[in-house]
Amino acid sequence: MHFWASAVYLLCLIASLVCAWLLTRGYVRYRTRILLWSAACFALLAVNNLLMVLDIVVFPQTDLSLARTCCSLLAVGTLLYGFIWEID
Amino acid sequence: MKENDVLAFLSATVKSLWALELLLLMRRERTRAWKMTALVAELRASTVVVQDALAGLIGAGLIAEDETGFFCYRPVSEMLDSFVAEAQALYAAKPLAVINAIAAAPNEKLRIFSDAFRLKD
Amino acid sequence: MSLLESFLSGAAVAGFVLASVFFLRFWRRTHDGLFAAFSAAFLLLAANQTMITIGGVPSEYQSWVYLLKLVAFALLILAIVSKNFGRRPFGGK
């Protein structure tokens, strides 16, 4: 069970890192701030997934869930900030 | 002609940076009629991008397509042509102002967002 | 789960739902399937966060809840892949 869980979160980690990298690359090229905010969102989601993997594999005793929840909230908050100020 | 007028003209008629490059290319070589494939090769763009840009510019009355599938620069009025001439000059003098005017449109931002996920250019 | 954490988690759920709605609007505006995929993914992230908060799940990795997250990120990967290689179910205009 733990093996599959950590495999899933590792996959999520890679996916969010890829998104963050592509969006950062887009920002460097076009300087459109919406890309910067979205890149930050996916970077934070990546941190969230990294904490999840750490939680399972490295520190099974400690509960990192508060830190993870903060990451999720910050991530989506950043994205919404970008959408609200840059697109409409 | 005021700079703001030219920028307003651009953000109303030219929907993407590809469309701008396409328009300026075809105006520079206005005597030439282009096949779609030639435009794709010249701009090193994808067929979809050029198709979209052409459709937008035909709708704006700047480019015409003949029955044999060739495209050429043919503005429907003198005034449109002078707007494009001004745009060309402005793009040479202040490229960032022109890019911003086009890229600031909400739909263009969404396109840039979506295109950021293309691995290749 | 502490009261503070439940509060933050609920806020995150609301945020994910709102982000999903934004992506839905972008999809309606551009007809670009990438935005539809992102919308669905963020809705699944909201569901995942909800299950963690009210599902009484002691820890996220001990249950099927993580499958929601797997599907969400699989959707993002799928959207990027079809943007690049597909016959444009997600990638096109």
Domain extents in chain C:
3-84
Looking at every residue in chain C, the average pLDDT score rounds to: 85
Looking at every residue in chain B, the average pLDDT score rounds to: 88
Q: How far away is chain A from the Cα of B15, in angstroms, using its nearest Cα?
A: 16
- The whole-number pLDDT of residue A29 equals 86
Q: How far away is chain B from the Cα of C56, in angstroms, using its nearest Cα?
A: 37
| Domain of B100, in residue numbers | 3-115
- Region of poorest pLDDT, from A60-64, B56-60, B78-82, B97-101: A60-64
Q: Domain total for chain B?
A: 1
Considering only the beta carbons, identify the residue of A8, A69, A87 that sits closest to C8: A69
Looking at every residue in chain A, the average pLDDT score rounds to: 90
Query: What is the C-alpha to C-alpha distance for residues C26 and C92, in angstroms, rounded to an integer?
Result: 14
The model's pTM is: 0.71
Considering only the beta carbons, identify the residue of C8, C18, C45 that sits closest to A70: C8
B28: its two tokens? 């520079």
Distance, C-alpha B42 to centroid of its chain: 14
Per-residue pLDDT tens for C43-60? 999 999 998 888 766 655
Kindly state whether residue B120 falls inside one of the protein's structural domains: no
Per-residue pLDDT tens for A12-40? 999 999 999 999 999 998 888 899 999 99
Per-residue pLDDT band for C61 (boundaries 50, 70, 90) equals: low
Question: Cα-flanking dihedrals φ and ψ of residue B15, to 5°?
Answer: -85, -15
Per-residue pLDDT tens for B56-88? 899 999 999 988 889 999 999 999 999 999 999
User: Tell me, what amino acid is at B29?
Assistant: E
Kindly state whether residue B121 falls inside one of the protein's structural domains: no
- The whole-number pLDDT of residue A25 equals 94
Nearest chain B residue (CA) to A15: B117
Give the β-pairing of B71-73 and B63-65. antiparallel
Hey, is the C-beta of A38 within 8 angstroms of any chain B C-beta?
Answer: yes
